[in-house]
Amino acid sequence: MRKHTPFVLAAFGTLGLVMHNGASAANYVEAIDGDLSGDETSPTAIALDLGANTITGTTIDSPLDRDFFSFTIGAGQSLDSLVLTSFTGDPPSNEAFMAVDDQFGFDSLFDTSDFLGTTLIGLGDVGTDALDLLGATEFGGDGFTGPLGEGTYTFWFQETGGPTSYTFTANVVPEPGSAAALLLSVGGLMLRRRTR
């Protein structure tokens, strides 16, 4: 047995834990887990795991139903993408308003300049990373590019044109330089070396 074999086994053992955490990512389905908060100061807190986490909700226009949800990205992690994976509106041409802020809740819904980002999103954006749209600040905000790092973020989703259903996939990954990312890199290198 070569000297580095125990290290490789330890690395892959830890890698297995990381991969397992990704496989057991969270799923929040409003119809099952409860109505997402309509209060901007007290959003529904959703716990995300490493990997692909899904958030599914619905909004209606009468009475007005806004969805506010929040999650915290832990140390050594980042929200790599927030992909709109499904969208159903009535009529289908409707687009929903979406905003994000980098705190728990929104201080005000009337001053978008204080937000992190804003956009309209709809059927034509299915498969698109909403972070790219939000970062462009279509209706005001500070703006940002790329993944969102450690911190708490609150999202606002609203459609006033008719009933709307949506699903987002929130992909949480280890940040480059974090222990989990290092183990993934080392494990890959050792596997490649072993197969030569």
Q: What pLDDT score does 8 carry?
A: 37
pLDDT at 18: 39
pLDDT confidence of 16, banded at 50, 70, 90?
Answer: very low
Among 126, 129, 145, 148, which residue's Cα sits nearest to residue 137? 145
Answer whether residue 139 shows pLDDT above 50: yes
Q: Tally Cβ neighbours within 10 Å of residue 32.
A: 8
**Nearest-angstrom CA–CA distance, 117 and 134:** 5
Q: What is the pLDDT of residues 143-196, one digit of tens each?
A: 999 999 999 999 999 998 889 999 999 999 998 875 544 455 445 544 455 555
pLDDT of residue 162: 85
Q: Reply yes or no: is the peptide bond before residue 91 cis, omega within 30 of 0.
A: yes
How much is the pLDDT for 6?
42
% of the chain exceeding 70 in pLDDT: 78
Residue 7 in this model has a pLDDT that exceeds 60: no
Measure the CA dihedral 130/135/136/139, to 10°: 90
